[in-house]
Amino acid sequence: RQKAGRNNFRFYSPKINQRANQQLQMENDLHKAVERNEFLVYYQPKVDVSSGQLCGMEALVRWQHPESGMVSPDDFIPLAETNGIIDAITEQVLVQVCGHLTRWQEASLEPVPVAINLSPVQFKNPQLAGKIIKQLKKNNILPKYIELEITENAVADNLAATIDLIHELTDAGFSISLDDFGTGYCSYSYLKNFPVDKIKIDRSIITDFTENTFDAAIVNSIITLADHLGLKIVAEGVETAEQLKFLRDLNCHQVQGYLISKPVPYEQATEFISDPSLINGK
Ligand code: C2E
Ligand code: CA
Ligand code: CA
Ligand code: CA
């Protein structure tokens, strides 16, 4: 992407000019969205394969845009990562999740751990761990209810600092999941240096693995590796009963995907917690 001030727009083709304007517009809108609390957390359940029980949920943010309606995170998180707005969004997600966890506890429901996504760029901020810990304390939420999902890109820039941050988080009692596993080039080497508790096999590997022997071999080897390292393993993007059956035969611990449920709003997540039989994981 070209970096240029306003005055340089005349060098752009009209189409690029238009896109740059759209980007500026969205950036303005994102700032307003933070002020107006337009972000909404949805929850996608995770199910334990052997018991069929709800065992966790992933918090996935949506933007309720006043004109455009619900905006998908893929359409605004990348921009928010380039201009620093991601920190404010993560904070609002965390506050909302803490609020929901509190309401579940007040309703005498035993909440399942909620996984929160952290962007790789956030690991450049040495205060990240401290801020998360403070936020949870302020809301009286125990760290056992929060998992943090990170991707291996988080370390691309600064391995040592990232490892320190992750240690700070695990020392405080949070569990760490390595997200989108199997898509990078050095997946295995990160495992050696990272104190992670869980690996999430990326949806792109799960999509065809029941037909594709190469992907099947990858899934199999990731699960075997995780077993040897004592890590929990989650398969993402499970859409068919056949995929679930294969994963069960491979002793995959947990699954997440449309077969179980799409991400749902707070009210429906509450129903899942209070009546696990609504979960489609048997
Ligand atoms: P992700 O962390 O890999 O999250 C999983 C995405 O896959 C979610 O998309 C989820 O709705 C989708 N998904 C789950 N099961 C299935 C399935 O069976 N089939 C298909 N086709 N898709 C499935 P979503 O909610 O649109 O989020 C997209 C990405 O945006 C996330 O990918 C994550 O990287 C990012 N994201 C979402 N919320 C946050 C957030 O609060 N903070 C940060 N930093 N990133 C977020
Ligand atoms: Ca994730
Ligand atoms: Ca993922
Ligand atoms: Ca992903």
| Tens-place pLDDT, residues 41-56 | 999 999 999 999 999 9
Q: What is the pLDDT of residues 204-227, one digit of tens each?
A: 999 999 999 999 999 999 999 999
Q: Which ligand is nearest to the CA of 119?
A: 1
Band (pLDDT 50/70/90 cuts) for residue 192 is: confident
Q: Would the CB of 233 count as within 6 Å of ligand 1?
A: no
Report the length, in residues, of the chain: 282
Q: Whose CA is nearest to atom 43 of ligand 1?
A: 117
Q: What is the pTM of this model?
A: 0.93
What are the tokens at 67?
């004109």
Q: Distance from first CA to last CA of the chain, Å, rounded?
A: 47
Contact at 8 Å (CB) between 41 and 60? yes
Q: Which ligand is nearest to the CA of 74?
A: 1
Is the pLDDT confidence value at 5 over 80? no
Q: Which pLDDT does position 2 carry in this prediction?
A: 44
Band (pLDDT 50/70/90 cuts) for residue 168 is: very high
Q: What is the pLDDT of residues 24-36, one digit of tens each?
A: 899 999 999 999 9
Is the pLDDT confidence value at 231 over 80? yes
What is the distance between the alpha carbons of residues 247 and 7, in angstroms, rounded to a whole number?
Answer: 56
Is the pLDDT confidence value at 10 over 50? no
Q: Would the CB of 75 count as within 6 Å of ligand 1?
A: no
Mean pLDDT, to the nearest integer, of 245-268?
Answer: 97
Is the pLDDT confidence value at 104 over 90? yes
Whole-number Å distance, alpha carbon 250 to ligand 1 midpoint, is: 24
Instruction: Report the C-alpha dihedral over residues 176, 182, 187, 191, rounded to 10 degrees.
Output: 40
Q: Would the CB of 72 count as within 6 Å of ligand 1?
A: yes
User: Which is the closest atom of ligand 1 to the Cα of 259?
Assistant: 18
In the chain, % helix, strand, coil (3-state, to 5) comes to 50, 20, 30
Q: Would the CB of 258 count as within 6 Å of ligand 1?
A: yes
Within 13 A of 103's CA, how many CA atoms are on the CB side?
Answer: 13
Is the pLDDT confidence value at 176 over 90? yes
DSSP 8-class letter at 264: B
For residue 147, count other CB atoms closer than 10 A to its CB.
21
Q: Which pLDDT does position 135 carry in this prediction?
A: 93
Q: Would the CB of 45 count as within 6 Å of ligand 1?
A: no
Residues with CB under 5 A from ligand 3 (ion): 179-180
Residue listed under structure tokens 């037909």: 211
Residues in Cβ contact with 175 at an 8 Å cutoff, skipping those fewer than 6 apart: 113, 144, 147, 148, 197, 198
Q: Whose CA is nearest to atom 21 of ligand 1?
A: 237
Q: Would the CB of 60 count as within 6 Å of ligand 1?
A: yes
Q: Which pLDDT does position 14 carry in this prediction?
A: 67
Q: Which pLDDT does position 129 carry in this prediction?
A: 95
Q: State which of 40, 43, 60 you would mutate to test the pocket of ligand 1, scoring each by most atoms of that ligand within 8 A of its C-beta.
A: 60
Contact at 8 Å (CB) between 57 and 114? yes
Distances (CA, A) of 191 to 8, 46, 188: 45, 22, 5
